[in-house]
Amino acid sequence: MKKVKDEKSSLFISTVAVFAALTAVSDLILESPLPYSGVWLSWIFMMEPIAGILLNPYAGFLATLLGVMVGHSIRYRGIYEFLFTLGAPFGSMISSLFFRGRWKQVLGYYTLLLGAYFLTPVSWSLPFYGMWDVYLALGCLIITMPFIAKKAEFWKLESYRSFYMPALCAFIGLEADVLFRIFLLIPCQTYQLFYGWNAETLQAIWASGAVETPIKAGLASLASAILIPKITKTLRKSNLISTEN
């Protein structure tokens, strides 16, 4: 029994280390495909849903957290970014939870953070369309909840073979990452405490983010849909990944 536990522990550590290294590499590449407007300066948005879906929620969170901390330490981009990049491990975890049908936790996350946003007075002056992609992710979550609640065999066992399932989980996870950063910026008042921005500056950021962020999320969702089934098919028999709970 002890030998089995030691083997599982070693496998967990090695798997987390591999994905943390891949995440760190993606976080070191700062040349983004689109102009930077506040979210995902690096290519971390490509790796975080893949780590979450292929690993379990805890391992995905840990691997992504270690990766972004290493990446931000090597290519330093400001002390505040260490706080905002915590959205990446949360995004990875949400992708993992939703892929495994644990929609209640995902819905609770969205409800809590969006509720905090709308209860913050400055949010009332920001363009509603600036977060249209977050609202779309929430809508996708609500629409698909009945299918998850039924715990269909397709969802439980075969979702990794589907094209659209990894894409959906990646999109919902990435927007959860965005939502965490918004939570820090608006309800936590860091737009004033850290940067000294006023409402007019926030409005400009919201307008530019409405274009850049959804495109990046779409690219990452497409990459997840293409890569995850192939990676899973290769690694599933080796027990190096967990597509179950």
pLDDT tens per residue, range 179-224: 999 999 999 999 999 998 888 888 888 887 788 888 899 999 999 9
Distance CA 94, CA 48 (A): 10
What integer is the mean pLDDT of 151-179? 74
pLDDT reading at 241 higher than 80: no
Predicted local confidence at residue 234, as pLDDT:
74
Lowest mean pLDDT among 25-34, 59-68, 115-124: 25-34
pLDDT band at 5; cut points 50, 70, 90: low
The pair of three-digit structure tokens given for residue 223, joined into one six-digit string: 């990459």
Give me the pLDDT at residue 228, please. 87
- Return the pLDDT at 89: 97
Q: What is the pLDDT of residue 98?
A: 92
Q: How far is CA 50 from the centre of its chain?
A: 9
- What is residue 152's predicted lDDT score, i.e. its pLDDT? 44
Can you give the pLDDT at residue 236? 65
Whether this model's pTM surpasses 0.85:
yes
Which pLDDT does position 11 carry in this prediction? 74
CA 190, 194, 195, 198 dihedral sign is positive
Measured distance CA(138)–CA(156) in Å, rounded: 21
3-state SS, residue 241: coil
Number of Cβ within 10 Å of residue 4's Cβ equals 8
pLDDT band at 232 (very low <50, low <70, confident <90, very high): confident
Q: Which range has the worst mean pLDDT, 8-22, 44-58, 168-182?
A: 8-22
Sign of CA dihedral 111, 129, 190, 169: positive
Work out the average pLDDT over 233-242: 62
| Average pLDDT taken over every residue of the chain | 85
